[in-house]
């Protein structure tokens, strides 16, 4: 079973994407709820999070694109910290759509990080939790993966792929003590989106973090942030693509 406390709250958290604004906001809420150990994994492991985290920290180098190194990475992390009960897959890249259309390599980079690397991370983690007997996995997806839009279809495609795979994994783990949750934020005000024009229903990383902790408590499979986006995106899927493009330009 997952080594949670008496109230079912995570005690040890693995953050893949160790400097994700959203990931760190989630971790801070977990620490406030009693988590005492955090493993920060990313390509710049020595960089200090700001503000600092009030927990025991272990910093690890993790390269999402180098999937050949993932088996060894996860084996070492879970051997050193067998009590990890929550893994957050929060890494990702966002490139301007004009760049994508001028250079296909940009789209490939996003696919390698956002889909291939994330798929490897999710599946490795799920394998460990299944063998151990329980644990939670949170994947940060995006509403961009819900319907193709001319302004970000390459990014959306990479998020759609990992969203689909993770929801399939959640179904395959039904009946076990491994819980998998997909989080679909809209526009979040982070370092990654700095300089971009904010979209309607923009939120902060802290708002996403609250939605994640609430979703974990309910054992949700999919969480929308804000929740109204569930209905907005459902409506957009019913509209002709020409009308969706016209709405984006307005």
Q: Which of 62, 155, 187, 224 is the catalytic position?
A: 155
| Residue environment code for 4-14, b if the CB has 16+ CB neighbours within 10 A, otherwise e | beeeebbbbbb
Is 128 an active-site residue? no
- What 3-state DSSP class applies to 33? coil
Q: How far is CA 237 from the centre of its chain?
A: 23
Cα–Cα distance, 153 to 147 (Å, whole number): 8
Only one residue has tokens 């016209």, namely: 246
Q: Exposure string (b/e) for 77-115, b if CB count within 10 Å is 16 or more?
A: bbeebeebbbbbbbbbbbeebeebeeeeebbebbbbbbb
Beta strand segments in the chain, E: 12-16, 37-42, 56-61, 86-89, 135-140, 178-185, 222-225
Query: Catalytic amino acids?
Result: 155
């Amino acid at each position: 079973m997952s080594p949670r406390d008496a109230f079912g709250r995570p005690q040890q958290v693995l953050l893949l994407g160790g400097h994700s604004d959203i990931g760190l906001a989630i971790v801070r809420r977990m620490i406030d709820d009693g988590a005492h150990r955090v493993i920060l994994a990313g390509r710049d492991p020595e960089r200090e999070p700001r503000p600092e985290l009030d927990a025991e920290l272990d910093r690890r180098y993790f390269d999402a694109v180098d999937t050949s190194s993932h088996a060894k990475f996860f084996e070492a992390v879970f051997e050193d910290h067998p009590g990890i009960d929550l893994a957050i897959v929060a890494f990702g890249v966002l490139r301007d759509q004009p760049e994508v259309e001028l250079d296909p390599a940009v789209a490939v980079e996003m696919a390698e990080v956002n889909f291939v690397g994330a798929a490897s991370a999710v599946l490795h983690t799920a394998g460990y939790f299944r063998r151990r007997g329980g644990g939670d996995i949170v994947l940060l997806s995006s509403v961009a993966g819900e319907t193709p839009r001319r302004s970000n279809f390459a990014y959306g495609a990479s998020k759609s792929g990992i969203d689909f795979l993770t929801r399939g994994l959640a179904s395959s783990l039904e009946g076990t003590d491994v819980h998998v949750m997909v989080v679909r934020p809209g526009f979040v005000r982070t370092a990654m989106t700095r300089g971009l024009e904010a979209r309607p229903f923009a939120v902060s990383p802290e708002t996403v973090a609250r939605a994640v902790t609430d979703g974990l408590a309910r054992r949700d499979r999919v969480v929308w942030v804000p929740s109204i986006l569930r209905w907005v995106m459902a409506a957009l899927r019913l509209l002709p693509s020409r009308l969706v493009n016209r709405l984006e330009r307005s």
